[in-house]
Amino acid sequence: MDIGTSKWQNAVNQPIHMAEIAIRSTALLFDFQVQAARDLLEMQARSAAVFGIPDCSSLFNTADERARRLFTEGAEHLLNSTRRANETMAEMNRHLGRLVEQQTVGIAEQVRQGIDQLGRHTEQGLQQARDLVEHGVEELARAAQEARQQASEQPGWQQQTQPSRSIIEQPRSGDVPSRARKQENPRAAAE
């Protein structure tokens, strides 16, 4: 547990401790007041017995200590139940946090494996395409070689040694417009 977490827990637990102290103090105060009321009523009953009224002071004298500490024990029971509930909730939160963490790690691993598998499939696909292109190029070269070989075996076939003319030919000097001719040869334009 790091220092930041312990400070946070102390900050959260401080109001809880203050509430426990307030509840215990209030319960103890109620027990004192109930005991004072019992003692007062017992004293009143004995005083009344002096004047001839039957003595009923034994009604207010409780032999059981638990009856005297009714509010204090009730408050302790309530605080213990609340503390156990808080501890149970904290434990559930820790287990839930671990479960979420494990699920996150599992999902991240599955995503990583999916990406790796996609990369392998892509690489295989590219390799297959490369093989197909290489095979196609080899087939085309072989077909071209066979076509040349068949053409050379036929009579009257000549292999062209001159480079072919380009599709766009340069204009001949007779085809050049007069203005262009003037620009090429300024002396001829002056004559």
Type of residue at 41: L
pTM of the shown model: 0.43
83 in a domain, yes or no? yes
Q: Which amino acid, one-letter code, is at 106?
A: G
Instruction: Report if residue 14 sits inside a domain.
Output: yes
| pLDDT cut 90: percent of the chain above it | 29
Determine the average pLDDT of the residues in 138-161.
79
Whether residue 56 is contained in a domain is answered as yes
Tell me what the mean pLDDT of segment 40-54 comes to: 83
When divided into structural domains, the chain yields a total of: 1
pLDDT at res. 185: 52
- Across 15-24, 81-90, 135-144, least confident range: 15-24
pLDDT band at 162 (very low <50, low <70, confident <90, very high): very low
Instruction: Give tens-digit pLDDT for 60-102.
Output: 676 566 666 777 788 888 888 888 988 898 899 999 999 999 9
User: When comparing pLDDT for 164 and 124, which is higher?
Assistant: 124
132 token code pair: 């197909």
Helix (H) or strand (E) holding 67: helix 65-68
The whole domain housing 22 covers 8-110
Kindly state whether residue 85 falls inside one of the protein's structural domains: yes
Average pLDDT for the chain: 77
Query: Does residue 138 belong to any structural domain of this protein?
Result: no
Over residues 98-123, the mean pLDDT reads 93
Is residue 51 in some structural domain? yes
**Would you call 27 exposed, middle or buried from its count of C-beta atoms within 10 A (0-12, 13-18, 19+)?**
buried
Cα atoms in the Cβ-side hemisphere of radius 13 Å centred on 94: 7
